[in-house]
């Protein structure tokens, strides 16, 4: 079971979600980009949905997982979470960043911080998945030190009925994080790679 902590990383504070976050959660989840890449979110996303999420987050903690609100300068900036580790010590991570906090490294900083924290608390492996078209999440995963492991083809259905491919990433306890190079993310030969695009 992961301890109910508060994590500080640079300008970000990660803390358990509170009912006061609900209005910002509604605005974040009603954003078209969020809705596009989170197909299971109700649309429209309403206050009752946000309050239900906050209340269920307590059960996630009690079940051994972790749910954090990301704040920057005291303002809500998104969510980051971990599933309860399975009996092999593997946990799944995910994140969602509010539109007003995008483009500043919030996702990568929060994902790196919560993964470091989980690995320090006995989790052996943290996995993360991102849709192949979600370039911002793919970049955040690389910057957070995750290593690409493969592709889950047609893994999830989108709102428009299409099935989407997901890139699978992981970080392992005891392994050094790879440093993010200043190259770009490129689609080559049917998969995302880092390198100089051209």
The mean-pLDDT minimum among 32-36, 155-159, 180-184 falls in: 180-184
Assess whether pLDDT exceeds 90 at residue 191. Answer: no
- pLDDT reported for residue 87: 96
Q: Which helix (H) or strand (E) holds 23?
A: helix 22-29
pLDDT, tens digit (0-9, with 9 covering 90-100), for 75-109: 999 999 999 999 999 999 999 999 999 999 999 99
Cα dihedral 98/99/101/104 (nearest 10): 120
Q: Could you report the per-residue pLDDT of 159-188, keeping only the tens digit for each? A: 899 999 999 999 999 876 555 444 455 555
- Most distant CA pair in the chain: distance in Å? 49
The reported pLDDT for the residue numbered 183 is 45
What's the confidence (pLDDT) of residue 180?
A: 47
* pLDDT score for 174: 85
Q: Indicate whether 189 pLDDT > 80.
A: no
pLDDT in tens, 62-73: 999 999 999 999
How many Cα atoms occupy the beta-carbon half-sphere of 86 within 13 Å?
A: 8
Q: Whole-angstrom Cα distance, residue 113 to residue 107?
A: 10
pLDDT for the residue 196: 44
138 CB-side CA count, 13 A: 20
What are 142-153's pLDDT values in tens digits?
999 999 999 999
Task: Determine the average pLDDT of the residues in 102-126.
Answer: 97
Closest CA to 16 of 2, 34, 30: 2
Beta-bridged to residue 194, according to DSSP, are 185
Lowest mean pLDDT among 55-59, 101-105, 106-110, 191-195: 191-195
């Amino acid at each position: 079971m992961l301890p109910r902590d508060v994590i500080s990383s640079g300008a970000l504070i990660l803390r358990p979600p509170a009912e006061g976050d609900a209005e910002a959660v509604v605005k974040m989840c009603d954003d078209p980009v969020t809705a596009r890449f989170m197909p299971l979110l109700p649309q429209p996303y309403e206050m009752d949905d946000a309050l239900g999420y906050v209340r269920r987050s307590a059960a996630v903690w009690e079940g051994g997982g972790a749910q954090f609100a990301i704040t920057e300068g005291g303002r809500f900036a998104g969510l980051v979470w971990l599933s309860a580790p399975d009996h092999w010590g593997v946990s799944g991570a995910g994140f969602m960043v509010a539109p007003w906090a995008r483009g500043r490294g919030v996702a990568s900083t929060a994902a790196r911080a919560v993964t470091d924290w989980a690995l320090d608390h006995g989790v052996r492996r943290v996995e993360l998945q991102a849709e192949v078209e979600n370039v911002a999440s793919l970049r955040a995963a690389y910057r957070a030190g995750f290593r690409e492991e493969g592709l889950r083809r047609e893994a999830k259905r989108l709102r428009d009925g299409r099935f989407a491919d997901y890139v699978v990433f992981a970080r392992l306890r005891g392994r050094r994080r790879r440093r993010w190079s200043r190259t770009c993310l490129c689609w080559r030969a049917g998969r995302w790679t880092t390198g100089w695009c051209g």
